[in-house]
Amino acid sequence: MKLWQKGTAAHEKVDSFTVGKDREYDLVLAQYDCEASMAHAKMLGAIGLITTAEAQQLCKVLEALKEDAEKGVFTIENEFEDMHSKIEHVLTEKLGDLGKKIHTARSRNDQVLVAMHLYLKQELTEIKTQVIALFDLLLELAEKHQDDLIPGYTHLQVAMPSSIGMWLSAYAESLVDDLYFGEAAFKIADQNPLGSAAGYGSAFPIDRELTTKLMAFKQLKVNAVASQMSRGKLEKSTAMALSSIGSSLSKMCMDICLYMGQDFDFISFPADLTTGSSIMPHKKNPDLFELVRGKCNSLQGLPNQLALLTTNLPSGYHRELQLAKGPIIDAVQELKSCMDILLFSLPQLKVSQNTTDQKKYDFLFSVDTLNADVIAGKPFRDAYRALGETIENGTYIPNRNLKHTHVGSVGNLGLDHIKAKMETLRF
């Protein structure tokens, strides 16, 4: 069944190619299509195109379908092109001619637009909840391990003292920046495009302000053409948010993989969070974190993928926009799974003790020695050269007593300042 069918049928090969994986992705979106259809039915009733009683009948069936979709028992058989045709079929089957009235004053473009807006509003909210939970966890661990020193690196060379607490709180603060992208994407999603029809509005006297209120959108996407042009842009803005979070998680997991290695040995995890080797019995591999790293690296290509998909398309609807649906749905689910596994594993972090006491980290403290000489009255450049000579001739003796005091340094992590940043973003 196709909503556009008028007595002729597309070739089977054309049908298969154009539908693609839509049915699979529509199972994710079906509950939101039902939600929007209920708002649409109530609006049709309010303006008199159907009766209030008819609107109620439609909503009753749609509510049941929505519940099925939420439970994962809603199905789209191959005879249906998409969720829209399946839902209208069920309405017609149960309500007769009344079911055929649901499509009055709207288009499938209309439907998928508003379903994507509702879906991404919900998913961005859930991702934000996960990010905040990870932020809280990282700061909790940072406070616990703020005095556990590790070397900091530049160019992968030992540079200056850091700490497990400094490392973890750095990623916590990075997540704040990531949420700024998420907030921007949410604002774009929180606009109601329903009523744009095929992109040029409708001759029916529909009430778009009412559907905006019924679906709890903050704003109406006013211009019908702008509504249609938002398809692709909405997905791309969300992709930017996912990519930003993915960048932070990927970098953190790279650090974890390094720090778990025997040559670093700063941290470890219980054996049941690692995997082994088929031939090397000693191996405890960080597969979990490697996979998060890989998945999140892939997410960073998504904005470009969507940009290339939508580049140079003129205004109005084009079938390529269908191809934006799958990548963003897959990316959302992938990121949520990565967040979930990190929230599960990171509380089990084990930190090695007295790491920087090893002789190979002696030069880690050279900058502190230099600074002490400057504070004692030596010109910086003279002190720098003199200390460099002691390092080169092997007479340098490190002083491991750190006196870092400025906010954001290893001796003063400024965790309260970082917490305050996140407070502006909490629900």
pLDDT band at 313 (very low <50, low <70, confident <90, very high): confident
331-377 per-position pLDDT tens digit: 999 999 999 999 999 999 999 999 999 999 999 999 999 999 999 99
Among the ranges given (4-8, 55-59, 208-212, 377-381), the one the predictor scored with the smallest mean pLDDT: 4-8
Torsion over CA: 308, 310, 314, 320 (sign): positive
Q: Is the per-residue pLDDT at 276 higher than 90?
A: no
Q: Do the domain assignments include residue 401?
A: no
Instruction: Verify that 40 and 169 share a domain, yes or no.
Output: no
* Same domain flag for 244 and 157: yes
User: Could you give the CA distance from residue 267 to residue 258 in angstroms, rounded to a whole number?
Assistant: 9
Residue 38 lies in a domain: yes
Is residue 320 included in any domain, yes or no?
A: yes
Residue 247 domain boundaries: 117-193+223-357
pLDDT band for position 18 (50/70/90)? low
CATH number, domain containing residue 87 = 1.10.275.10
Are both 159 and 305 inside the same structural domain? yes
Q: Which residues sit opposite 162 in a β-bridge?
A: 150
Q: Is residue 304 part of a domain?
A: yes
Task: Say if residue 29 is in the same domain as residue 171.
Answer: no
Are 151 and 279 found together in one domain? yes
The answer, yes or no, to whether residue 11 has pLDDT greater than 80, is no
33 and 162 both lie in a single domain: no
- Please report whether residue 301 resides in a domain: yes
Give the number of domains in the chain. Answer: 2
Report the pLDDT value the prediction gives residue 127, as an integer from 0 to 100.
Answer: 98
- Please report whether residue 238 resides in a domain: yes
**Euclidean distance between CA atoms 177 and 306, whole angstroms:** 22
62 is a domain residue: yes
pLDDT for the residue 283: 84
Residue 69 and residue 183 share a domain: no
Domain boundary among 357, 391, 414: 357
Residues 45 and 140 occupy one common structural domain: no
Last residue of a domain, one of 101, 134, 153: 101
Q: Return d(Cα 130, Cα 124) in angstroms, integer.
A: 10
Do the Cβ atoms of 282 and 318 come closer than 8 Å? no
CA atoms within 13 A on the CB side of 403: 10
pLDDT for the residue 4? 44
125 shares its domain with 83: no
Q: Same domain for 330 and 257?
A: yes
The amino acid occupying position 70 is E
Residue found by looking up tokens 């508003």 in the block: 114
In a domain, 86, yes or no: yes
Task: Give the residue from 321, 340, 357 where a domain finishes.
Answer: 357
Residues 146 and 60 in one domain: no
- Here the CATH number for the domain that contains residue 123 is 1.20.200.10
Judged against a pLDDT cut of 60, whether residue 288 lies above it is answered with yes
Same domain, 52 and 183: no
Residue 386 neighbours by CB distance under 10 Å: 12
